[in-house]
Structure 1
Amino acid sequence: MTLRNKTRIEQLMDDIRQQIASRALTPGSRLPSVRARAQSAGISVSTVVEAYDRLEAESVIVSRPGAGFFVSGPIAPLDLAQLAPTVERDVDPLWITRQALDAAPDRPKPGCGWMPPEWMYEEGIRRALRKAARSESALLTDYAVPAGSAELRQLLTRRLAAYGLSATPDQLLLTDSGTHSIDLICRFLLEPGDTVLVDDPCYFNFHALLRAQRVQVVGIPWTLQGPDLAAFQQALTQHAPRLYITNSGIHNPTGGTLSPTTAHRLLKIAENSDLVIVEDDIFADLETHTAPRLAALDGFARVMVIGSFSKTVSASVRCGYIAAKPTWVEKLIDMKIATGFSSGRLAADLLLNVLKDSGYRRHLEAIKLRLADSRRQVMQRLGEVGIRPWLVPQSGLFLWCELPEGLDAAEFSRACLRQGVVLAPGNTFSQSGSCDRFLRFNVSQCGDERIYRVLKDVIQS
């Protein structure tokens, strides 16, 4: 057997293993015949025979005389990394999140998506914890009602009203987080093979979550005014998508906002389709100027809003929400019970007391000023090494920045990682892979002088 044939055998075996790992092939699935596989792959019959024989020896597949070859064994655990394009693991969305979460407290992580502990509302959380400790036993030990705390849902309706969203408590469902909210919505609305639209770029965990749903994802280019409406119209016509997930407040990762004109035109384009729109509004409390909300313009007819307070109160207090029309909320409650039974009663009570605390408003005002000051300083420091923002955001955590000509963000991030700095390269946010010179910087995480020394060192190397 020649080296070339051996390489092709190994490649074919790896391809079949990958299909099994990603569940494209499940136990009992019939593999293409030897001749069919050879013809489709452009390889010899003997190569396929040898690959199948080796896989059978490993008990990966089994032959049935007269019937062919079939996948054997129990279903493979779902490996989300196998469902992604083949890339270096350190530019994979799941890997970036792991790096940021696993990083030592003193390790610089300007690519992460949350504020440092000292920026969070620790004082208010401690007050809420002390109050919870004195509460009735049921709060500390019992399940929550299916929709979640009625008092918190009532408070959230008043907060939504500040953004022009008119909702009643029965239009809200409490969840464990913003990500949990999207997962419930996807389980409710989507079937494998459906098409979902996302902004390009968008929050990178949308890609990982949608990959788990086994759907087709189409990116809509994000402009300075919001999604590219011509591309949005084309995607509606060509793909008949079921869902569009976006930010119309502070956009992640660009820091941009949706313009009123774009918002109105987008809903006009969508009005004759079956499209459902999900607005991820997790950064609402960091806005300095209120952006238009699609749900406010639409009256919750086709738009759902999700949010949480992990970015401004505490990432340890896991509580999010979905706001939608009542008929959808009822079905989402059933989905929540089926998949998680109940959300955290204690977390909802803690959040309720934090949001009712008069100090939270003052905390937010201080944080907005602190972010504005950090944004100016970080833009100046990045500019000194030739890294420029795509736009200057009005508010929020993020700067979407372009590297100097000739630098690739993935390679650049790997080099910085070797020196202990965790970055977020652009193509992890991009469905099209068109952001290879961009990085997302979190201005609240950019106070460490080591960041700029490493950036300068890698740029000059």
Structure 2
Amino acid sequence: MKGGRGTRTGEVMEAIRRKMANGTLSPGERLPSIRRFAAAMGVSPSTVVEAYDRLAAEGVIRSRPGSGFYPSGAVPPLALAEMGPQPDRVIDPFWVSRQSLDTAAGMPKPGCGWLPADWMPGGMIRKAIRGLARAGDGLLVDYGGTRGSPDLRRLLARQFAEEGIAAGADRILLTASGTQAIDLVCRFLLRPGDTVLVDDPCYFNFQALLRAHRARIVGVPFTPAGPDIDRFTEALATHRPRLYITNSALHNPTGATLSPQTAHRLLNAAAVHDLTIVEDDIFTGFEPEPSPRLAALDGLARVIRIGSFSKTLSASIRCGYIAAREDWVEALADLQVATNFGGPSPVAAGVVCAVLGDGGYRRHLEALRRRLARARREATDRLGALGIRPWLMPRGGFYLWCRLPDGLDSADVARAALRDDVVLAPGNVFSVSQTASGFLRFNVAQMGEARVFDVLERSMMDRR
């Protein structure tokens, strides 16, 4: 019975293995005392004794008489997919991301998080690339500056000013992507074991990235107006988190938008508990009218704004940004040098700057919003015919967070659809508490093929 899986002894053994795998227990560091670990695990001391003895017999730990137990040998490599409880692969953030990214070009992906290629401004991108090709060789071959293109940072500062966010170019740091922006902030502010609040449900790669930083993740129930403020305040008092990461506008996956009342109460609670907020504003271009922004209300005092252009311009030309306190931007620039030796590719930043500065880009966004509104209505009607209903109707964007008919588990439906080469996004991949098994997130821009609905209907019928 190696490993003792399924027993209380096995649970203690797995807890020790996880501590060693995620780095919270390193070579030379003594294991918790038998009585202390028994109390922490809610088991008897004899159960911990048996678990330690078995791990020692396997060579995982070793005993030092009179001192206690210690890990044996080197720390195993960090395997993110093995950290924490093992979810069903179909609701594992890493597996879902890889399914979306690695599928063949023609495979329908209504569960993915980006627009089809023919919805993007290809003509403007080609024009920008041709312009850069005529630039000096330095732009094409040299490293970029540590904060990124001054021209793009000034352009972003002007756009932020239109939203009521006073952030000069010296408070903006360009990054290699939106994900790298969050990664830098986590490297800067978090230590292993720190607690981070996220919405429940939330963008699944928030969870994956936080696991990489060995953070403790606590979910706060999300409502159509934003996080449940009573539960949010309770979590602040109970868990004393270091960060809260959220989307304020067109929330992923629900499509909800933060209300002014919720925004004010959230910021007041954050001030009382000295909480830093990371506001991922990647969907702002899809809003028909601006909604409340934590960064604007707070003045970038305790709110860090991040974003990128992968949803509205190109996921291939990677460039993101961080807007924050000037002293934090200075420190983050050093951190970016250490981890990336400078900012994003000058070529990528140059393309983004040229496209954003083109008058046609605003027309592109307006056309996208109209096209998405039509796609949202059509998808809602066709899903409704299958008994699938939106949790709410978003003001914009391309996501629909939908409830399946009673009794259906979205993981089962997604698994069945994958056998027919259709990638879906089941609800529990977004849920920290694993309470969204009755939901699927749909990308309305990726649902133009009738086959998507045929496969969805067949997959649902198979699970009834």
The 1:188/1:32 distance shift into structure 2, 3 A limit, reads closer
The 1:352/1:14 distance shift into structure 2, 3 A limit, reads same
1:32, 1:302 → 2: CA distance?
A: 36
User: Gaps spanning 5+ residues in structure 2: where?
Assistant: none
| Alignment correspondent of 1:346 | 347
- TM-superposed CA distance for 1:103, in Å, is 0.5
Q: Which amino acid aligns with 2:413?
A: F
5 Å matches for 1:371-386? 371-386=372-387
Maintained 8 Å contact 1:26/1:76: no
Maintained 8 Å contact 2:184/2:332: yes
Q: Is residue 2:225 matched to residue 1:225?
A: yes
Q: Is residue 2:319 matched to residue 1:315?
A: no
Q: Which amino acid aligns with 2:416?
A: A
| Alignment correspondent of 1:109 | 109
Q: Which amino acid aligns with 2:448?
A: G
Question: Which deviations, in whole Å up to 9, do the C-alpha atoms of 1:226-271 show, x marking residues without a partner?
Answer: 1111112212222222211111111111111111122122222323
Question: Which deviations, in whole Å up to 9, do the C-alpha atoms of 1:98-125 show, x marking residues without a partner?
Answer: 0000010111111111111111111111
1:324, 1:383 → 2: CA distance?
A: 43
- TM-superposed CA distance for 1:341, in Å, is 1.5
1:181, 1:35 → 2: CA distance?
A: 42
Q: SS at the partner of 1:271? A: helix
Q: SS at the partner of 1:366? A: helix
1:84, 1:408 → 2: CA distance?
A: 23
Maintained 8 Å contact 1:255/1:396: yes
| Alignment correspondent of 2:416 | 415
| Alignment correspondent of 2:389 | 388
| Alignment correspondent of 2:25 | 25
- TM-superposed CA distance for 1:24, in Å, is 3.7
With 66-75 and 312-321 compared, the bigger mean Cα shift is at 66-75
Alignment identity in percent? 55
The 1:142/1:453 distance shift into structure 2, 3 A limit, reads same
Maintained 8 Å contact 2:35/2:45: no
- TM-superposed CA distance for 1:348, in Å, is 0.7
- TM-superposed CA distance for 1:84, in Å, is 3.4
| Alignment correspondent of 2:98 | 98
1:48, 1:276 → 2: CA distance?
A: 39
One of 52, 56, 80 as aligned partner of 1:52: 56
| Alignment correspondent of 1:75 | 75
Normalising by structure 2, we get a TM-score of: 0.91
| Alignment correspondent of 1:158 | 158
- TM-superposed CA distance for 1:423, in Å, is 1.1
2:248, 2:92 → 1: CA distance?
A: 25
Q: Which amino acid aligns with 1:120?
A: M
2:318, 2:329 → 1: CA distance?
A: 20
| Alignment correspondent of 1:442 | 443
Q: Which amino acid aligns with 1:162?
A: E
5 Å matches for 1:119-198? 119-198=119-198
Q: SS at the partner of 1:124? A: helix
User: Gaps spanning 5+ residues in structure 1: where?
Assistant: none
| Alignment correspondent of 1:355 | 356
The 1:348/1:66 distance shift into structure 2, 3 A limit, reads same
Q: SS at the partner of 1:457? A: helix
Q: Which amino acid aligns with 1:52?
A: A
With 235-244 and 224-233 compared, the bigger mean Cα shift is at 235-244
Q: Is residue 2:354 matched to residue 1:326?
A: no
The 1:6/1:324 distance shift into structure 2, 3 A limit, reads closer
Q: Which amino acid aligns with 2:442?
A: F
The 1:45/1:334 distance shift into structure 2, 3 A limit, reads closer
Q: Is residue 2:272 matched to residue 1:272?
A: yes
Question: Which deviations, in whole Å up to 9, do the C-alpha atoms of 1:205-234 show, x marking residues without a partner?
Answer: 111111122222221211111111111221
- TM-superposed CA distance for 1:18, in Å, is 4.1
1:27, 1:152 → 2: CA distance?
A: 46
Question: Which deviations, in whole Å up to 9, do the C-alpha atoms of 1:7-40 show, x marking residues without a partner?
Answer: 8687776665444333343333445689998974
- TM-superposed CA distance for 1:61, in Å, is 4.2
- TM-superposed CA distance for 1:74, in Å, is 2.6
1:47, 1:75 → 2: CA distance?
A: 19
The 1:188/1:6 distance shift into structure 2, 3 A limit, reads closer
Q: SS at the partner of 1:331? A: helix
- TM-superposed CA distance for 1:149, in Å, is 0.7
Q: Which amino acid aligns with 1:28?
A: G
2:52, 2:357 → 1: CA distance?
A: 67
Q: Which amino acid aligns with 1:257?
A: T
With 199-208 and 258-267 compared, the bigger mean Cα shift is at 258-267
The 1:404/1:300 distance shift into structure 2, 3 A limit, reads same
The 1:49/1:234 distance shift into structure 2, 3 A limit, reads closer
Q: Which amino acid aligns with 1:233?
A: T
1:369, 1:312 → 2: CA distance?
A: 14
The 1:437/1:140 distance shift into structure 2, 3 A limit, reads same
2:172, 2:369 → 1: CA distance?
A: 27
Q: SS at the partner of 2:416? A: helix
Normalising by structure 1, we get a TM-score of: 0.92
Maintained 8 Å contact 2:34/2:45: no
| Alignment correspondent of 1:430 | 431
1:339, 1:270 → 2: CA distance?
A: 30
The 1:334/1:43 distance shift into structure 2, 3 A limit, reads same
Q: SS at the partner of 2:129? A: helix
The 1:125/1:261 distance shift into structure 2, 3 A limit, reads same
Count of aligned pairs between the two proteins: 456
Maintained 8 Å contact 1:147/1:173: yes
| Alignment correspondent of 1:456 | 457
Q: Which amino acid aligns with 1:418?
A: R
The 1:68/1:308 distance shift into structure 2, 3 A limit, reads same
Q: Which amino acid aligns with 1:283?
A: F
Q: Which amino acid aligns with 2:156?
A: L
The 1:69/1:397 distance shift into structure 2, 3 A limit, reads same
Q: Which amino acid aligns with 1:449?
A: A
1:71, 1:130 → 2: CA distance?
A: 58
2:2, 2:160 → 1: CA distance?
A: 65
- TM-superposed CA distance for 1:393, in Å, is 0.7
- TM-superposed CA distance for 1:318, in Å, is 0.8
Q: SS at the partner of 2:453? A: helix
